[in-house]
Amino acid sequence: MEIIKLSLFGIMGVLLAIQFKGIKSEFNFYIGIGVALLIFFYAVNSLTALISELGVLQKYLKGGESYLGTLLKIVGITYICEFSSGICKDAGFSSVAGQIEVLGKLAVMFAGLPILLAVLEQIQGFM
């Protein structure tokens, strides 16, 4: 139900920005940033409930607690880069948005390296 509310809030923000497009074009950017920030902060606030649920899951992972932390870090990197890239695209700086996306992909790759190394160690242990 919250997804519907947030989607409607986003649509209303876009419609409001369209109304100001002919009057003052710089208001489009400010309205877009404001709506995006409100939705982003709501999403971050919702993540606290997810993290508490993941704490329950962590009890069942014996020896794999670091993997859950890495997973959360990767999800955080992905959301932040996607949000930043979207703002840059809306502002007309698609080249900067592309660089943020590349940086995000590299950061996810580096954050996932410990998991890859652990998997390779397990495979080598079987041989």
DSSP 8-state assignment for residue 62: S
Average pLDDT over residues 17-42: 80
Quick one: average pLDDT of 61-86?
80
Task: Please give the Cα distance from 13 to 6 (Å, whole number).
Answer: 10
Encoded tokens for 43: 């999403």
Query: 99 is in which domain, residue-wise?
Result: 61-127
Grouping H, G, I as helix, E, B as strand and the rest as coil, residue 111 is: helix
Count of structural domains within the chain: 2
The greatest distance separating any two alpha carbons of the chain, rounded to the nearest whole angstrom, comes to 70
Q: Do residues 79 and 54 share a domain? A: no
For residues 82 and 31, membership in a common domain is answered with: no
Q: Domain check: are 5 and 39 in the same one? A: yes
Length of the chain, in residues: 127
Place 64 in a pLDDT band, splitting at 50, 70 and 90. Answer: low
Same domain, 89 and 48: no
In this structure, the answer to whether residues 52 and 75 fall within a common structural domain is: no
75-107 confidence digits (pLDDT tens): 888 988 888 888 888 778 888 888 989 999 999
Whole-number pLDDT of residue 56 = 75
Is pLDDT above 70 for 1?
no
- Do 68 and 114 lie in one domain? The reply is yes
Read off the pTM: 0.64
Q: Which residue has the higher pLDDT, 89 or 26?
A: 89
- Provide the residue type at 49 as one letter: A
Output the pLDDT for position 54: 73
